[in-house]
Amino acid sequence: MRKLSLIAISGIIAVFGYLPLANAGNSAWLPAPGGGSVSLSLIYQSAEEYWSGSSKAPNGGALGDGNNLTQGTATIQVKYGLMDSVALDLAVGASRASKVGTGPKKSDDENGITDVKAGVTVRLVDEAVTQSAPSIAVRIGGIVGGNYDTGYINSIGDGGDGVEFSGIVGRFLSDNFAMSGELGYRFLNQDIPDVIFADVTGTLILADMLGVSVNYTMENARDAIDLGGPGFGIEDVPNRKRFWLVEEDFHAIGSTLTFLTGDSTSISGSYARVIAGRNTGEFNIFAVSLGYSF
């Protein structure tokens, strides 16, 4: 039961790790040495309203002509157990974002390779050994900006390189219920605001082959410019703005249902929604993740 629970939880966390607006997905439960997992996540998100500064307005107001901003992303994640308490992770994908009437150049669509993220996680405490304390780990990760144009409302991301550090805690409270959380800080170049990020996930194993989770995640950027505020516009370049310099904060909640389809395979379906924010969209996010453990 415990082995199946760990596989299910890994699949659940992997889905949230690749939502473009979320940074969950790092776990204190590491793969065994020489083992690991590969997952493919397909994500679709859409927003019709934005927070411009701390005030929400429809796209037809401050930011466009009333058409939704949408984005579809496919991401591959690999996790590998290097040794008993050390694991490596790598993620990369491709994305397409669209906003009718406000796209860069003459196109409503922006396509590109997403930011490449790689990291190493070191487990400091293993709950299976202590039998009392939770599993505790630390992670350091590197980020390489993807291949896409920046500065448009439908840009794939901010385009910066950087590093992030986080502390991760996980604990089985019973054979079929676990809690996990992460708190971290991200530094990016090109004057992109630093970010504090956090998430909390509760997971319930309903049966040997079925698990459900509820997730909360947030990002809080340092003080920076607002959408439409001073310094946001770029003269003589149609539709291009300084989106990468914006202070983008958000709070999102979501849920995931995971089925184990075999001893080493799983499929997960997720839904998340941004419930509050600053200079960001009120996104509805849907994801499907296929996982394989080895």
Which 3-state string (H, E, C) describes 226-241? CCCCCCCECCCCCCCE
Compute how many other C-beta atoms are within 10 angstroms of the C-beta atom of residue 102.
Answer: 18
In the numeric block, the tokens 């397909």 are attached to 42
The HSE-up count of residue 23 (CA atoms within 13 Å, CB side) is 27
Question: Beta strand pairing status for 86-99 and 69-83?
Answer: antiparallel
Residue 272 in this model has a pLDDT that exceeds 70 = yes
Q: What average pLDDT does this structure show over 163-185?
A: 92
Q: Give the separation between CA 148 and CA 271, rounded to whole angstroms.
A: 26
Please report which confidence band the pLDDT of residue 105 belongs to, taking 50, 70 and 90 as the band edges: low
Q: Give the separation between CA 166 and CA 161, rounded to whole angstroms.
A: 17
**Does residue 26 or residue 171 have the better pLDDT?**
171
Residue 110 in this model has a pLDDT that exceeds 90 = no
Q: Give the separation between CA 251 and CA 25, rounded to whole angstroms.
A: 16
Instruction: Please answer whether residues 1 and 208 qualify as being in contact, where contact means their C-beta atoms are separated by less than 8 angstroms.
Output: yes
Q: Give the separation between CA 134 and CA 136, rounded to whole angstroms.
A: 6
Reported as a single tens digit per residue, the pLDDT across 235-245 is 877 778 898 99
Backbone φ and ψ of 52, nearest 5°? -100, 110
Question: Does residue 134 come out as left (phi exceeding 0), alpha (psi in the -120 to 50 range) or beta?
Answer: beta
Q: Give the separation between CA 223 and CA 34, rounded to whole angstroms.
A: 43
Reported as a single tens digit per residue, the pLDDT across 200-218 is 989 888 877 888 888 899 9
Nearest partner of 45 among 92, 91, 97, 111, judged by Cα: 97
Q: What average pLDDT does this structure show over 6-16?
A: 54
Reported as a single tens digit per residue, the pLDDT across 225-237 is 998 888 888 887 7
Residue 80 in this model has a pLDDT that exceeds 50 = yes
pLDDT mean across residues, the chain? 84
Domains (range + CATH), the chain: 2-293 (2.40.160.40)
Please report which confidence band the pLDDT of residue 8 belongs to, taking 50, 70 and 90 as the band edges: low
